[in-house]
Amino acid sequence: MGRGKLRIYLGAAPGVGKTYAMLSEAHRRSERGTDCVVAFVEHHGRSRTETLLHGLEQVPRRELEHRGALFTELDLDAVLARAPRVALVDELAHTNVPGSRNAKRWQDVEELLAAGIDVISTVNIQHLESLGDVVESITGVRQQETVPDEVVRRADQIELVDMSPQALRRRMAHGNIYQPDKVDAALSNYFRPGNLTALRELALLWVADRVDEYLQQYRSEHRVSRIWGSRERIVVGLTGGPEGRTLIRRAARLAEKGAGGEVLAVYIARSDGLTSASPKELAVQRTLVEDLGGTFHHVLGDDIPAALLDFARGSNATQIVLGSSRRKTWQYVFGPGVGATVARESGPDLDVHIVTHEEVAKGRGLPVATGARLGRSRIAWGWLTGLGGPVVLTLLLNTVHLGLANDVLFYLALTVAAALLGGLYPALASAAVGSLLLNWFFTPPVNRITIADPRNILALAIFVGVALSVASVVDVAARRTHQAARLRAESEILSFLAGDVLRGETSLETLLERVRETFGMESAALLEREGDVAPWTCAGRAGTGPPVERPEDADVDMPVGDHMALALTGRTVLVAASALADRVEVRVVDRGPGVPDDAKERIFEPFQRHGDAPRGAGVGLGLAVARGFAEAMAGTLNAEDTPGGGLTMVLTLRAAGTPAGASPVTTAERQAAR
């Protein structure tokens, strides 16, 4: 038998008619032939509510004695034994009398639902646990009986029972809520118009958020990518620069103009950590956006415009606010910039606002797409130095004859410069071009690719050897820097999540939502079990989509201790491509368990099995054949760690137009690239 369904009537204040609405629903279901019983309903002496109890089967209550007084409570065992199709349980936040099986009535409801019984219940907005401080500040009364928000959020249906403050006060004055001797005190204290208005607003906003969750779930399940502008939701793209404060305030003003407007500030961090912003400035901006009633989000993404648009569409946003680019004029040769790209790709259903600020053109902004480890501009200058520099140097040396030894030193200096700027490949090109020019123009016999003096052969060999050594050292240093940057990105994520805890956001669901959002997944769940063979249970979950019952059912699972696991579902085979000078790099990103460093080369050998994989579950010939095809086309295929966990396959090929006779990458070069 499956789990029962929960329907909750949520009241804005006592006396709005929650129990009346619940009993009316029970009569409608009974008339349709549904087996419906009253497990526990309190009418509080209200005649119209008491009248509706007639005609409904009532399960006898359990009597309990406490401190010399006799109380009645819901008889959970009797209801379970009766096993109706639907059970009515009033006052979900009620605290049971000591001696009951459960401390809270909502825990009784959980047992009924687990037994496959549908439950209809009631609760007032002031009894939600997260709103305790707010309600106390409004009414001056601290609610002692509360129910966790997640219990109500998990309900299959939530119906708001609303009433204007004036109508509710009239009901109170007519004696329809409290006894006549309590009416005057209630009207002058808890039921003041201001209190009722504030409680009503809390209820409307809370239900609106729940409706928004239903909408997001529906859009996810039905793969709806088009934005439905049911409410103004404004995404602010932050770079970590000081202009972010201006953008947040501008977005808040835009949100105020629309009913129910919402601000979502998002910082897109590159997975390689190369565009990491100042944590101090981001903390200031986070505080600002939260003070203005918005939310702050931290997302990983190598393609900044694409990640920003994915976040906006996934949040069903209607507007994006970006700052004018901080890049200088000459930097636009590397691309149009994030703002222009987002505006071009946003489509007709998403408005993009470009806001001017004091930091315009004072420094480079975010790059449009992922580049190489040394950066696009450095690689471009490296290739220019490596290919164009030897030609210019040859023209100069032909006018001033300094001798072969000095000529070799000049070409060597040029190759070192190319290595420092662009890394390995520009330096290799410089060494090749330089050695050919030295041989043709300056090594006797000139104007021929031959060498007469053996000493000149030694000089050229030393020249090429030193050039390759320097280039390799620079390239290794760049890759170590890249690894350090990736670790910085991961530590930034951990710092961000730890900050949630320090700020008091200790809810497990809140932390799971941060994890889900950071890695762009559809859902995140924490599973636990009592032993190695015990069944898994869900300790907490965030996101949309069907629940995950076992770690192996998830797209990504990560052990957490001996008997817990983090299960993520959603997009895991991200494919990104970029052009790097005369090469094209394709990255296939997976967020699975990953592969240890000592196995990253072994998995390309035929018929390999990793770890304790059973016979027949190895890699076969697939990766070996793929690497063979790549090398046959003068390319490489290597494995890298995915930031945050997983494996990334990197395929590098020569770009179209590269001479067909160019030599393929050697095994030594491929290993050096790792």
Q: Which pLDDT score is estimated for 658?
A: 58
Q: Which of 104-108, 245-249, 457-461 has the lowest mean pLDDT?
A: 457-461
Structure tokens at 398: 């032909």
Name the amino acid, one letter, at 518: T
Q: Per residue in 156-168, pLDDT tens?
A: 899 999 888 888 8
CA-to-CA distance for 311 and 305, rounded, in angstroms? 10
The mean pLDDT value of the chain amounts to 78
More confident residue, 465 or 352: 352
What CATH code is assigned to 233-355?
A: 3.40.50.620
Binned at pLDDT 50, 70 and 90, residue 305 comes out as: confident
Q: Per residue in 16-28, pLDDT tens?
A: 989 999 999 999 9
Q: Which pLDDT score is estimated for 371?
A: 37
Integer angstrom CA distances of residue 464 from 436, 438, 459, 585, 641: 11, 11, 9, 27, 33
Q: Which of 58-72, 271-285, 312-326, 328-342 has the lowest mean pLDDT?
A: 271-285
CA-to-CA distance for 77 and 66, rounded, in angstroms? 20
Q: 339 with 303: CB under 8 angstroms?
A: no
Structure tokens at 287: 């505080």
CA-to-CA distance for 49 and 468, rounded, in angstroms? 89
- Which residues does 548 contact at the CB level (< 8 Å), separation at least 6? 523, 525, 527, 538, 554, 567, 569
Q: What top-level class would CATH report for the domain 574-673?
A: alpha beta
Percent of the chain having pLDDT more than 70? 77
Q: Which pLDDT score is estimated for 531?
A: 81
Closest CA to 515 of 644, 646, 640: 644
Q: 238 with 244: CB under 8 angstroms?
A: yes
Stretch 557-573: mean pLDDT, rounded?
76
Sign of CA dihedral 590, 591, 595, 596: positive
Integer angstrom CA distances of residue 135 from 142, 201, 375: 7, 11, 53
Q: E-assigned strands of 41-169?
A: 57-58, 62-66, 69-73, 86-89, 118-124, 157-161
What CATH code is assigned to 6-221?
A: 3.40.50.300
Say if 6-221 and 233-355 have the same CATH topology.
yes
Q: Per residue in 170-188, pLDDT tens?
A: 888 887 787 777 877 778 8
Stretch 338-354: mean pLDDT, rounded?
84
Q: 339 with 324: CB under 8 angstroms?
A: yes
Closest CA to 371 of 485, 519, 238, 521: 485
Any idea where the domains of the chain sit in the sequence? Answer: 6-221, 233-355, 374-520, 574-673
One-letter-per-residue 3-state SS of 551-591: HHHCCEEEECCCCEEEEEECCCCEEEEEEECCEEEEEEEEC
CA-to-CA distance for 266 and 277, rounded, in angstroms? 13
Name the amino acid, one letter, at 459: A
**Residue spans of alpha helices (H) in 266-388:** 279-291, 304-314, 338-345, 376-383
Q: Per residue in 189-206, pLDDT tens?
A: 888 888 888 888 888 878
Task: Report phi then psi at 659, rounded to 5.
Answer: -50, 135
CA-to-CA distance for 400 and 303, rounded, in angstroms? 49
Indicate if the pLDDT at residue 272 is higher than 60: no
